[in-house]
């Protein structure tokens, strides 16, 4: 019998899997990709008697492949915090899904493991821009403020590394980054003893500086729409730049668009003070999805940009109905 670990290539997916495998080591086939590459279950060639663990990818976007696996007699364990829709009722499925705005997949795994490897969940929560959650969990571990800031930098750098159109845009393929952190039970040891955290942090700061200097911004009452060029550095930093803008203006929403040949790739952040609405906005367009506080559209056709801008303003208007 074979086991497959299927996980998002961002900080949350990586840390969620790492927590589970620290607690329950097992041989498995790894299935992952860039952050936006979430239709992963269709790549799993599992058969009756095999098992699959899924982490941080939308059940709704993988519904058909999940149904096929369950019908084939494959046991599936599913941890996620994105919009799921109706969760199948099947004895072979164990689903741990919570879409609350302050939760990420690693937090769900932390609950499942009763806090056994919590510092890695702190890393993941910072990566998903859930700073209050991350700081509260760090304090619950008795961590000093300096240590919490180190985990913030690691989480943001790991999350940054997940963005791109393909793995050729990334500094480290997600499987390689997972293999790098595998020997470390503590993220602080990973930071101290491996060069990947330093390399990723340096590249992230460089790309953020480029984004700040070249971004085209349209301001409105609801928030800001930002357009970045269709370059490798822009594709890498898109999500982290959206998080940075959201943190700087927590009362406002932000959409960062990266140019594609046929339109835009979109990252949306709801106001941190009101972290909801992003998923509904993005699901209103083909290839859109995500969670309440942060969502995206894989390809927004160029001719629908004005429609998106109007929907963005309507969803995040701080005074709906005002004249």
Residue 51 contacts residue 1 (beta carbons within 8 Å): yes
Give the Cβ contact number of residue 221 at 10 Å: 11
Pick the CATH number of 215-316 from 3.40.640.10, 2.60.120.10, 3.40.190.290, 3.10.310.30: 3.10.310.30
Closest CA to 104 of 87, 128, 140, 84: 128
* CA–CA dist 246, 255 (Å, integer): 9
Beta strands in the chain (DSSP E): 3-7, 29-31, 51-55, 75-80, 93-97, 216-219, 223-228, 253-260, 263-269, 288-290, 294-301
Tell me if 236 sits within 8 A of 230, measured CB to CB.
no
Token pair of 77 as six digits: 């364990």
Distance between CA atoms of 269 and 276, rounded to whole angstroms? Answer: 9
pLDDT of 320: 55
Q: Which CATH number fits domain 3-201: 3.10.350, 3.60.20, 2.60.410, 3.90.1640?
A: 3.90.1640
**Sign of the CA dihedral 81, 43, 289, 250?**
positive
Pairing of the two strands 51-55 and 75-80: parallel
Task: List the strands of the sheet with 253-260, edge to edge.
Answer: 216-219, 223-228, 253-260, 263-269, 294-301, 288-290
**8 Å CB contact between 70 and 41:** no
- CA gap 115, 21 in Å, rounded: 14
- What string of pLDDT tens digits covers the 323 residues of the chain? 999 999 999 999 999 999 999 999 999 999 999 998 889 999 999 999 999 999 999 999 999 999 999 999 999 999 999 999 999 999 999 999 999 989 999 999 999 999 999 999 999 999 999 999 999 999 999 999 999 999 999 999 999 999 998 999 999 999 999 999 999 999 999 999 999 999 999 999 999 999 998 878 888 889 999 999 999 999 999 999 999 999 999 999 999 999 999 999 999 999 999 999 999 999 999 999 999 999 999 999 999 999 999 999 999 987 654 43
> What is the pTM for the complete model shown?
0.90
Alpha carbon distances (Å) from 139 to 64, 101, 119, 150, 153: 41, 20, 10, 13, 16
For residue 87, the 8-state DSSP code is P
d(CA 54, CA 128): 18
Please give the DSSP secondary-structure letter assigned to residue 61: G
Q: What is the DSSP letter of 167?
A: G
Going from N- to C-terminal start, the domains of the chain cover 3-201, 215-316
Distance CA 279, CA 258 (A): 18
């Amino acid at each position: 019998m074979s086991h497959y670990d299927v996980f998002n290539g961002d900080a949350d997916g990586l840390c969620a899997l790492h927590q589970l495998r620290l607690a329950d080591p097992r041989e498995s086939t790894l299935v992952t990709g860039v952050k936006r590459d979430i239709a992963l279950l269709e790549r799993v060639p599992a058969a009756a008697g095999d098992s699959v663990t899924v982490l941080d990818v939308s059940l709704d976007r993988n519904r058909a492949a999940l149904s096929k696996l369950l019908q084939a007699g494959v046991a599936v364990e599913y941890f996620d915090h994105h919009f799921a829709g109706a969760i199948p009722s099947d004895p072979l499925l164990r689903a741990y899904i919570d879409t609350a705005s302050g939760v990420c997949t690693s937090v769900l795994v932390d609950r499942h493991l009763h806090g056994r490897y919590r510092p890695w969940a702190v890393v993941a929560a910072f990566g998903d821009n859930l700073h209050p959650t991350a700081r509260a969990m760090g304090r619950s571990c008795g961590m000093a403020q300096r240590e919490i800031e180190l985990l913030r930098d690691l989480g943001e750098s790991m999350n940054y590394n997940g963005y791109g159109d393909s793995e050729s845009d990334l500094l480290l393929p997600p499987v390689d980054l997972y293999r790098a952190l595998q020997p470390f039970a503590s993220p602080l040891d990973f930071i101290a003893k491996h060069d990947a955290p330093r390399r990723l942090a340096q590249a992230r700061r460089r790309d953020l500086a480029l984004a700040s200097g070249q971004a085209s911004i349209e301001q409105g009452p609801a928030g800001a729409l930002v357009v970045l060029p269709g370059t490798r550095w822009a594709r890498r930093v898109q999500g982290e730049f959206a998080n940075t803008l959201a943190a700087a203006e927590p009362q406002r929403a932000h959409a960062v668009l990266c140019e594609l040949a046929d339109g835009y790739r979109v990252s949306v952040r709801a106001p941190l003070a009101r972290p909801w609405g992003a998923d509904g906005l993005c699901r209103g367009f083909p290839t859109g999805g995500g969670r309440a506080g942060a969502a995206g559209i894989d390809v927004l056709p160029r001719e629908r940009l004005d429609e998106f801008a109007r929907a963005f303003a309507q969803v995040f208007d701080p005074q709906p109905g005002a004249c």
